[in-house]
Amino acid sequence: MDRRIFGLETEYGITCTLRGQRRLTPDETARYLFRSVVAWGRSSNVFLENGGRLYLDVGSHPEFASPECDSIWDVVRYDRAGDQIIYDLVVNAEARLRDEGIRGNISIFKNNTDSAGNSYGCHENFLVARAEESNDYLDVFIPFLVTRQIFAGAGKILSTSRGQSFSLSQRAEHIWEDVSSATTRSRPIINTRDEPHADAEMYRRLHVIVGDSNMSQYATFLKVGSAACVLKMLETPGFTLRDLTLENPIRAIREVSSDITCRHPIRLANGKEMSALDIQKYLLSRALDYRDEHGFGDEENQALSMWEESLQLLEHNPMALSDRLDWVAKLHLLRRYEDRHGKTLSSPEAQMIDLQYHDINPHRGLFFSLENNGIMRTFVSKEDVDLATHSAPRTTRAHLRGRFITAAKEKQREYTVDWVHLKINDQSQRTVVCNDPFKYQDERVDQLIDAM
């Protein structure tokens, strides 16, 4: 596809504590968090003026789904805007707690696991043509996703029978299948539920649920951008990629996650062995060939350069990526703390560093401390993020949704919206169906807005 729609769905962990002790349950905290949303006259499942969706998911996890983006940079921008939208809810909720005489601080973590062993996800969506065959996803795309954690993992202290160890990925231990229609009962790498949110005869949505939530803008861009490059190679007739089918993808994803050297051999279905670094280097080399033979777009070329740079440093000097990749940045913090204070990964202090890295409070989170001090590389300005919290992308269907919601709120009209439908809730039940996610101008929507 020359143009592609991208999206991220991010679920967040939530706590309310006072002096380290739990003050409210996650369910009670979530009710305070979403009270301002319900006060808008809506439920805890709403679409916003920026075209995205704000939702309270199973397990009292706030979730922000980005609007449809046709730019990888927009994916990064709206991902960060989601953090800001959720944090604004925290500020409002804490004010209500104070007004009601309840003492406690609400923390929101952009991570993927909690202390009880539960996992919540960061799902990636890629629009693909319906005609594309999916066999190559097993041969190539799943091995790519399994090994991509060497640059896309968020890092985690993992408790094992042998004690604590550092792993690359937070999601790896919670994945149980390669492909499946399930999302929670038996989490797969790729969710196959056929829900394109578009013309079902033309498109389907590739729903990747294996990835970690990234704090780093660099890691988010690289995660999505490298996947876009691999998808384009798979979709191009005549461009060949060797069969990389893994003998056991679920065993492999855990083996890769537990290997911070990225060199541990994993077994392919053909009996050969390659390390995660080997598989990524091979796919990168073919992507470079593709660039020379067919050409990538500007953003894909940017991702290609970042991919090449990251793999070179992972092979020769991985800690040099502590200003770009989440797992390296976190490991650097932990090692520095260990050197200064003699603490091990099993210490409460190390566990706290592991968690606080993901705190989205810009005044308290460890990642934001690194970013505010110029240590982490950034690409999206605060002004761009602020704009993205209330303004939709202008070159996708999200623009129509954002205009409609803004107009309905201004005119105090009741409405119903989902990814495809825009409806005014009156006697006529006027509805516009927007099946083309690339279409950002539509006379029918103009007329619907004028009729309010």
Q: What is the pLDDT of residue 162?
A: 86
Q: What is the pLDDT of residue 43?
A: 66
Q: Give the residue-averaged pLDDT of 271-286.
A: 98
pTM: 0.96
- Rounded-to-integer distance, Cα 8 and Cα 12, Å: 13
Confidence band, pLDDT 50/70/90 cuts, at residue 42: low
For the residues of 302-353, what is the DSSP string, one character each?
HHHHHHHHHHHHHHH-GGGGTTT-HHHHHHHHHHHHHHHH---TTSHHHHHH
Contact partners, residue 408, CB within 8 Å, separation at least 6: 414, 415, 424, 452
Q: Give the residue-averaged pLDDT of 329-351.
A: 96
Q: What is the pLDDT of residue 405?
A: 97
Q: Give the residue-averaged pLDDT of 307-314.
A: 98
Choose among 282, 304, 285, 286: nearest CA to 240: 286
Q: Give the residue-averaged pLDDT of 221-233.
A: 97
Between 184 and 154, name the one with better pLDDT.
154
Dump pLDDT digits (tens) for 90-128. Answer: 999 999 999 999 999 999 999 999 878 889 999 999 999
Would you please indicate which residues are annotated as catalytic (active-site) residues?
57
Lookup: tokens for 248: 């056991």
Parallel/antiparallel/unpaired status of strands 177-180 and 188-191:
parallel
217: DSSP letter: H
For the residues of 6-17, what is the DSSP string, one character each?
EEEEEE-EEEEE
